[in-house]
Amino acid sequence: MITLLEHKFFLSEIIGRKVYLKTEHIGRLDDMVIVETGKLPEVSHFVVSRSFGYPSLLLPWDKLTLISNTEIVFDVNAPHEYERVPPEGSILLRAHVLDKKILDMDDHEVEIVYDISLHFQAGKLYVSEVDFSRRRLLRRMGLKKLANWISEQRQETTGLLAVCSALTRAHRGIQGARQAQCAQGKH
């Protein structure tokens, strides 16, 4: 049975946490492997980095027993059985998704993924959303108070920004119409 203190958290909050095999400290969480299972990708394995040149561990989800605010615990007796790298073609959340630009369906760059939201439901851990907000980036950098202040300011000025944006679009439309008239020799 898995115990989680929080059922929703961000990848950046869990990466780097201490990992224990029962009561023995074995390393730190380095990454998570996901598999596509329908609507939401599911976490299948955890990559644990180890110090002193020991090879990384690839621990399966079903061996997880606890994720707390400070540690992650697995029920594994022989760590050497899990010394391996993720298989070729695996999707690693930190290495392949976090801090990467994503593309839309037409291969246009959209945004950079600043964080990934994970949600525990029905005994499984799912990737529920990616976060593109600059606020999340600031929080990752340790600037939580600044991120919250900017968020508050943004909420106050949302109405003003919408008006300014509409005026800018209208101005561009008028400029475009003038340029089209000039090109046709009407002006």
Distance from C-alpha of 125 to C-alpha of 8, rounded to nearest angstrom: 9
Domain ranges of the chain: 3-138, 144-184
Structure tokens, 171: 């101005």
Is the Cβ–Cβ distance between 42 and 62 less than 8 Å?
no
Q: How confident is the model at residue 186 (pLDDT cuts 50, 70, 90)?
A: low
- Backbone dihedral angles phi then psi of residue 8, each to the nearest 5 degrees: -140, 130
CATH class of the region 3-138: mainly beta
DSSP assignment string, 49-91: E-STTPPPEEEEGGGEEEE-SSEEEE--S-GGGGB-PPPTT-E
Return the higher-pLDDT residue of 165 and 123: 123
Residue 150: CB partners within 8 Å, gap ≥ 6?
134, 135, 138
Distance from C-alpha of 11 to C-alpha of 99, rounded to nearest angstrom: 12
Average pLDDT, the chain: 82
Tens-digit pLDDT profile for residues 69-112: 899 999 998 899 999 999 998 999 999 998 888 877 788 887 88
Q: What is the pLDDT of residue 164?
A: 47
Q: What's the predicted TM-score (pTM) here?
A: 0.73
